[in-house]
Amino acid sequence: MLSKKIEEALNKQVTIEAESSQVYLAMASYAENLGFEGVSQFMYAHSDEEREHMLKLIKFINERGGHAIVSQLSAPPTEFGSFKDMFQNLFNHEVMVSKTINDLVDVSLQEKDYATHNFLQWYVSEQIEEEALARNILDKINLIGDDKGGFYLFDNDIKQLITKPTPPQV
């Protein structure tokens, strides 16, 4: 059984994951409008992944006797500037999410909720991967600089970095 404090903290994370999914969906649409198919596919897939992160939390909260809440979301921006700006934005967003996951791990320890602590380890590892991926992409963009041909190749190459979301399991 979840304590009220943990339930509320997990529900806050549900909203953060849902908003992450919205932000990446907005980035996908932005890139698609600019004609960058690879980047937009990457962002659509990333948005789906965030939805899976949200679903995994919802199922966990409900299975542990809590009530997962689907809340109102804030609207993401519609423009994201250059690709460098957009991927920097993605990286900063993931760093923020890692911080909220760490805070959640802290709460689980304070509450001596070891089942939630154990559940959250998946998110801790996932955040390491997501930050590394964003950093890797930013490095590539920095190498390209202002080379238009380089961006064409980058748009093609990024398709290889698209990961299939793992189905939610609790």
Q: Does the footprint of ligand FEO cover residue 19 (CB under 6 A)? A: no
Alpha carbon distance 134, 127 (integer Å): 10
> Is residue 17 a contact partner of residue 47, using CB atoms and an 8 Å limit?
no
Nearer to ligand FEO, 53 or 64 (CB): 53
Considering the rule CB under 6 A, would residue 20 count as an interface residue with ligand FEO?
yes
Interface residue with ligand FEO, options 10, 11, 17, 151 (CB under 6 A): 17
- On the CB side of 147, CA atoms within 13 Å amount to 12
Shortest reach from residue 97's CB to ligand FEO, in Å? 4
Q: Which of 7, 19, 50, 113 binds ligand FEO (CB under 6 A)?
A: 50
CA distance 19 to 11: 13
Query: Comparing C-alpha atoms, which of 89, 92, 79 is closest to residue 34?
Result: 79
Asked if 130 interacts with ligand FEO (CB under 6 A), we say yes
CB within 8 A of 52, min separation 6: which ones?
165, 166, 167, 168
The footprint of ligand FEO on residues 52-91 (CB under 6 A) is 53
Q: Please, which residue, 50 or 113, has the CB nearer to ligand FEO?
A: 50
The footprint of ligand FEO (CB under 6 A) covers: 17, 20, 50, 53, 94, 97, 130
